[in-house]
């Protein structure tokens, strides 16, 4: 598995611990019932969503953050 899915990464399987923002948006759109855009993910990052030091996103940590944010809104 590649160490990162950031721009310039080698081809191969996606690493859920280091996804590019574009990959996160694509995965969440495919898994959900409404589209998730790159802008939406960037807005979440601006609102405090966790990112790795290299700017990639750990999908599990991001999903946990989203759940916390949804619970907070209730």
Query: Is pLDDT above 90 for 5?
Result: no
pLDDT band at 6 (very low <50, low <70, confident <90, very high): low
Q: Is residue 16 part of a domain?
A: no
Q: Is residue 54 part of a domain?
A: yes
Q: Is residue 55 part of a domain?
A: yes
Mean per-residue pLDDT, 45-69 = 97
Q: What local confidence, expressed as pLDDT, does residue 7 receive?
A: 54
* Half-sphere exposure in the Cβ direction for 32 (13 Å, CA): 11
Q: What local confidence, expressed as pLDDT, does residue 60 receive?
A: 97
Query: Is pLDDT above 70 for 49?
Result: yes
Count of structural domains within the chain: 1
Q: Is residue 9 part of a domain?
A: no
pLDDT band at 74 (very low <50, low <70, confident <90, very high): confident
**pTM for this predicted structure:** 0.81
Task: Give the whole-angstrom CA distance, residue 7 versus residue 30.
Answer: 21
Range of the domain at 45: 21-73
What is the torsional sign of CA 43, 37, 23, 17?
A: positive
């Amino acid at each position: 598995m590649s160490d990162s899915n950031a721009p310039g990464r080698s081809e191969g399987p996606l690493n859920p611990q280091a996804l590019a923002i574009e990959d996160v948006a694509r995965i969440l759109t495919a898994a959900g019932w409404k589209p998730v855009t790159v802008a939406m993910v960037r807005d979440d990052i601006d609102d405090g969503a966790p990112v790795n030091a290299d700017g990639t996103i750990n999908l599990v940590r991001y999903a946990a953050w989203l759940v916390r944010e949804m619970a907070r809104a209730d």
